Amino acid sequence: MYCCRGKNKKNELGQSLIEVLLAMVIFVVGVATIASLFLNTYLVSIRSLEKTQGEFLAREGIEAMRSIRDHEFANLTDGVYGIELTEGKWQKKDNPDITDDKFQRTIEIGGTDSIKTITSTVSWESVTGAESIFFSEHLTDWRTAIEEEI
């Protein structure tokens, strides 16, 4: 019986070592999974915030062109522009405008003398790569349309 008890102790020590190693593997896998989940959640929230900001800036570009149209439709000349707010009025400028050193907005104007197609595009470098969003709308000289009806 003496020899059998010795073998059991060796088996118990080997079994304990395997249990410790298994517990460590389970712990490491759990921590890695949780870390990956937090990192993924962080990246998704950053990307979502950037997309929301990009959408806002693109919509703001369309609204700025509406404001310019409302003051003088003839100011909507074909080309690619940026915009800036000067003394409470939107103005076109020759270069794209950059917001927060990250978002670049361009406004493209094209069309006929009475209907202009406005495309506001915002581009930025996201944590996941290059991103862009655009909105497009047709604007008319509403004052001329009202005068024609009268």
| pLDDT at residue 127, rounded to an integer | 82
Mean pLDDT score of the chain, rounded to an integer? 88
The model's pLDDT over 60-78, given as tens digits with 9 standing for 90+, comes to 999 999 999 999 999 999 9
Task: Report, as an integer, the average pLDDT of 28-52.
Answer: 93
Question: Residue 131 pairs with which residues in a beta bridge?
Answer: 124
Assign 147 a pLDDT band (cuts: 50, 70, 90). low
Beta-strand runs (E) in 10-143: 79-86, 89-93, 97-99, 103-111, 115-126, 129-140
For residue 122, what are the domain limits?
2-149
pTM of the predicted model as reported, rounded to 2 decimal places: 0.75
Assign 14 a pLDDT band (cuts: 50, 70, 90). low
| pLDDT at residue 3, rounded to an integer | 53
| Domains: count for the chain | 1
Question: Residue 143 pairs with which residues in a beta bridge?
Answer: none
